[in-house]
Structure 1
Amino acid sequence: MTKKVYYLSTCDTCKRIIKELGIGEDFEYQDIKKEKITEAQIEEMKVLSGSYESLFSKVARKYKELNLKEKSLREDDYKQYILDEYTFLKRPVFIIGDHIFVGNSKKNVEAVKAHISGDQK
């Protein structure tokens, strides 16, 4: 079963969540700043999450810098921005089997935790 996390090693929130979950060596880690997301990876994330927009971070600094709020973005735009600039991926992203968990909301972290504990039973 696939167990992977896309994260930023420089992001304190990502590090805190990974530590809190205690996932250790069970997971494959991809630091998206050091190892860019591939088109195949973003495609897999989209299939699991339902849309590129759901993977896109609207709180990224670049979102404001590029004035994207004023633009009408389509799915292809979200995909391209994420591929071009790692900061646009809402993170961390956990893929466990055919489930995806995107972002750092408390609800999302709790869902990952519940899923992991369910997997280990």
Structure 2
Amino acid sequence: MKKIYHLGSCSTCQRILKELEPLDGVQLQEIKSEPMTAAQVDEMKALSGSYESLFSKRAMLFRQKGLHEKELSEKDYKELILEHYTFLKRPVILVDGQIFVGNSKKTAQEAKEALHP
């Protein structure tokens, strides 16, 4: 299975999607208009190892809600990701049992190599 969770209004996500083209056979899920289910977040966690690894501490809501001053558990990270899409570190790219989380150059390059071997 090949799937990319992304935010359509995010210029970084748009740039990475362009770099990954062609996206034949890749299912795209725009997380603002099509929210993630608990099962999808659980699947991402199973591949990445933790909910924290999927969580974006750069989200504006992270500081607005005072979360940077709290000790968060794995359960908290999961609930926050499900509560608001901005808490997902994006894009999340799934390629045949592999997961690539975030927008670093290295991550994007590894995802491209997995999509186009």
TMscore range, shorter length: over 0.9
Kindly report the root-mean-square deviation, in angstroms, between the aligned alpha carbons of the 2 structures. Answer: 0.8
Q: How much identity, in percent, do the aligned residues show?
A: 52
Q: Deviations over 1:40-88 (max 9, x none)?
A: 0000000000000000000000001011110000000000000000000
Where structure 2 has 5 or more consecutive residues not aligned to the other structure, the ranges are none
**Matching of residues 1-121 of structure 1 within 5 Å:** 2-118=1-117
Task: Please tell me the residue identity of whatever aligns with 1:18.
Answer: L
In the alignment, the residues of structure 2 paired with residue 108 and residue 67 of structure 1 have an alpha-carbon distance, to the nearest angstrom, of 29
CA–CA distance in structure 1, aligned partners of residues 86 and 51 of structure 2:
14
Q: Please, which runs of 5 or more residues in structure 1 have no aligned partner? A: none
- Aligned to 1:6, the other structure's residue is in SS state strand
Deviation of 1:116 after TM superposition, in Å, equals: 2.0
What amino acid is aligned across from residue 11 of structure 2 in structure 1?
D
Structure 2: how far apart are the matches of 1:49 and 1:89?
A: 13
Q: What SS does structure 2 have at the residue aligned with 1:9?
A: coil
| Distance apart, 1:115 and its partner CA | 1.5
2:46 counterpart letter in structure 1: V
Offset of residue 23 of structure 1:
3.4
Query: Given the two structures, how large is their TM-score scaled by the length of structure 2?
Result: 0.97
Runs of 4+ deviating beyond 3 Å: none
Query: 1:28-50 deviations in whole A, cap 9, x for unaligned?
Result: 01000001110000000000000
Deviation at 1:24, TM superposition (A): 2.3
The offset of 1:114, in angstroms, is 1.9
Measure the CA separation in 2 of the matches of 1:75 and 1:88.
13
Count of matched residue positions in the alignment of Structure 1 and Structure 2:
117
Q: Which moved more, 1:19-28 or 1:3-12?
A: 19-28
